[in-house]
Amino acid sequence: MRKNINENASKGYKIIVVDDEIGIIDSLSIFLKRSGYEFTGVTNPLEAIELVKQEHFDLMLLDFIMTPIHGDLVVEEIRKFNKELYILLLTGHKDLAPPLDTIKRLDIQGYCEKSDKFDQLLLLIESGIKAIAQMKLIKEINTELKDTNDKLEKAYLETIETLRFTVEAKDTYTRGHSDRVSDYSVLIGKYLNLSEEDLHLLKIGGLFHDVGKIGVPDSILLKNEKLTEDEYSEIKNHPTIGAHILSNATIFEKAIPIVKYHHERYDGLGYPSKLVGENIPYLARIASIADTFDAMTSRRTYRDSLPLDVVKQEIEKNKGTQFDPNIADVFLDILNNHYNEIEEIRNKY
């Protein structure tokens, strides 16, 4: 059992647990109350739906296999009237989890296998509470400054900047990474003759494309060894978490697709939604190649930065598979004929 729980961070957050096994309810009640959360346990999923209509809850832990209806149907009903509830699905075995398409469609933030040890579940809850806290802060700012658009934008940017700096303070690799991705994206956008509005969206989307890593446990984000399959799945949640964090700020509405889909691949093998080709938002396709370029040209714990010739070969090789071929051609032209502009960006950070 973890001992370093920040009770102040958990205080006041309401968690509802829905499971038709009373033993699970009782065990989680003891565990979550000890961790400082307000707890409500429900064994009937239909009753849980009505309770969520009547009361505010910050996070739901929901069993998948239940009677009289399964967890995915519970979420489907709840999403009709509540889009904001943070939901973590509990499964007896990961093979029994609903299809990935269902999890995405219903905006389920994550799922965890049941276990007599709750350490992994607590990490997911703590990550969820971090995201919820930031959404609450954004909402408060939105309410306080709704009549002053300039101040609102400044306040939002400062708030999310603080969150971004929190991520960068944890992970040395990300320091300067988001700034460079932002600038590279804008540079590509200029060579694509995009509008000033689109260039502004590329700037914002690039700056905050990794903000969802605040919801990834430090034990995974800072791990030097190879990640397990489950740990990599946690990392792959960061675009969705980032989009969720920004979703309450109207000024970020048009930039959210960049944050959510910058890890999609042109061939449909990316994440979180496996979008294919032109179904991937255009600006996200630009940010994707900028993000990959900076990753390849940055020093990592497990390798040095790659030589420019190797990077260009990788981009050429992955045209039409990982990258939009037209955007890749424009970026290769920049690397071949306007590399001084790339160097200017690299020297800034």
Q: Can you list the alpha helix ranges (DSSP code H) found in the chain?
A: 7-10, 22-34, 45-54, 71-78, 100-105, 119-144, 149-170, 177-191, 196-207, 218-221, 229-235, 238-246, 256-261, 282-296, 308-317, 325-337, 339-348
In CATH, what number is assigned to the domain containing residue 62?
3.40.50.2300
Q: Is the domain of 99 the same as that of 176?
A: no
Q: Comparing C-alpha atoms, which of 244, 40, 11 is closest to residue 132?
A: 244
Q: Is the domain of 223 the same as that of 303?
A: yes
In a domain, 137, yes or no: no
Which residue is listed with tokens 């420019």?
Answer: 308
Q: Comparing C-alpha atoms, which of 258, 316, 317 is closest to residue 287?
A: 258
Q: Is the domain of 329 the same as that of 185?
A: yes
Q: Is the domain of 187 the same as that of 87?
A: no
Which residue is listed with tokens 């409500």?
Answer: 40
| Coil, strand or helix at 41 | strand
Q: Is the domain of 170 the same as that of 270?
A: yes
Q: Is the domain of 110 the same as that of 165?
A: no
Q: Is the domain of 97 the same as that of 188?
A: no
Q: For 228-259, what is each residue's pLDDT tens digit?
A: 888 888 889 999 999 988 887 777 889 999 99
Beta-carbon count within 10 A of 38 CB: 15
Which residue is listed with tokens 């429900």?
Answer: 42
Annotated catalytic residue within 14, 53, 80, 213: 213
Number of compact structural domains in the chain: 2
> Could you tell me if 243 and 253 are in contact, meaning their C-beta atoms sit under 8 angstroms apart?
no
Provide the pLDDT confidence category of residue 6 given band limits of 50, 70 and 90: very low
Q: For 56-68, what is each residue's pLDDT tens digit?
A: 999 999 998 898 9
β-strand partners of 87:
60
In a domain, 213, yes or no: yes
Q: Is the domain of 70 the same as that of 193?
A: no
pLDDT at 56: 94
Q: Comparing C-alpha atoms, which of 305, 298, 295, 308 is closest to residue 339?
A: 308
The whole model's pTM is what? 0.61
Separation between Cα atoms, residue 234 and residue 228, nearest integer Å: 10
Laid out side by side, the sheet with 86-91 consists of 38-42, 14-18, 59-63, 86-91, 110-113
In a domain, 125, yes or no: no
Sign of CA dihedral 340, 345, 348, 349: negative
CA distances from 319 to 9, 41, 230, 265, 316 (A): 45, 51, 29, 10, 5
In CATH, what number is assigned to the domain containing residue 236?
1.10.3210.10
Q: Is the domain of 84 the same as that of 24?
A: yes
Q: Which two tokens stand for residue 114?
A: 């049941």
Q: Is the domain of 176 the same as that of 92?
A: no
In a domain, 126, yes or no: no
168 contacts: CB under 8 Å, gap ≥ 6? 174, 175, 176, 177, 178
Q: For 185-199, what is each residue's pLDDT tens digit?
A: 999 999 999 999 999
Which residue is listed with tokens 């900076």?
Answer: 294
Phi, then psi, of 337 in degrees rounded to 5: -120, -10
> Could you tell me if 268 and 276 are in contact, meaning their C-beta atoms sit under 8 angstroms apart?
yes
Q: For 39-95, what is each residue's pLDDT tens digit?
A: 999 999 999 999 999 999 999 999 988 989 998 899 999 999 998 899 998 887 666
Is 226 among the catalytic positions?
no
Provide the pLDDT confidence category of residue 202 given band limits of 50, 70 and 90: very high
- Name the residue range of residue 250's domain: 149-348
Q: Which of 98-107, 163-172, 317-326 is the least confident region? A: 163-172
Q: Is the domain of 212 the same as that of 320?
A: yes
